[in-house]
Amino acid sequence: MAKVPTPHIGAKEGEIAEKVIMAGDPLRAKFMAETFLENPVLYNSVRGMLGYTGTYKGKRVSVQGHGMGIPSIGIYTYELFNFYGVKSIIRTGSAGAFHPDLKLGDVVIGMGSCTDSNYGAQYNLPGTFAPIADFELVRKAAAKAEELGVSYKVGNLLASDVFYGDSADSWKAWQKMGVLAVEMEATALYMNAARSGNKALAICTISDSLVTGEACSAEQRQTSFTNMMEIAFDII
């Protein structure tokens, strides 16, 4: 714990809970803290990446922004797991649907995470590592979604380094392999959790569809995204 505060997180030792829920947008992290936590206390505002600790139904929970992309979440989750003693992280985020049955507002529970990133090269493995979520968190998330009546699927996500790609149809190759949706962070989260011996899960809400071209309005994002948030807080 001697390496805290870090260059990216200003929290002191003990200010971050062992269970953390993350969001790419720090303002969504702020919304979650103010909506779900009792007595949330701001522990980080470095680089505007807001972080709060409070309680949810008697559990001590922290909420932290992680920014966009694998390099950004890679930094924040590495520091949380390795410097702040965090044991479990759930990412809540948006995703673009590859599967034709996924509708706007549906939830995808990321059992695995494919990627076009080279993030895993740092481990010098004699092969290809398959980044997967913690099964207990997956099981609990699916059960909670059913309890809440939320439409969901469990399966593979694609964590892509590219938002504006040069090939408009490249996503179809991933679709052929059964990948459900694309986001930009789960691979680094799962790899950092594996390397540090901890738990992780990515839960995403479908905000747009590459199949139909539909996209959520700002109002739809505000109302439908709370389903994945409630799932995350209840199972963390």
Burial of 4 (0-12, 13-18, 19+ CB in 10 A): middle
Q: Which residue has the tokens 């504006």?
A: 164
**Would you call 128 helix, strand, or coil by DSSP?**
coil
Alpha helices by DSSP H, the chain: 26-36, 70-83, 135-148, 171-176, 186-196, 218-235
Say how far residue 179 (Cα) sits from the centre of its chain. 17
**Is 169 a residue of the active site?**
no
- The Cα–Cα gap between 221 and 120 comes to 32
Q: Which of 25, 116, 161, 208 is catalytic?
A: 208
Catalytic positions: 208
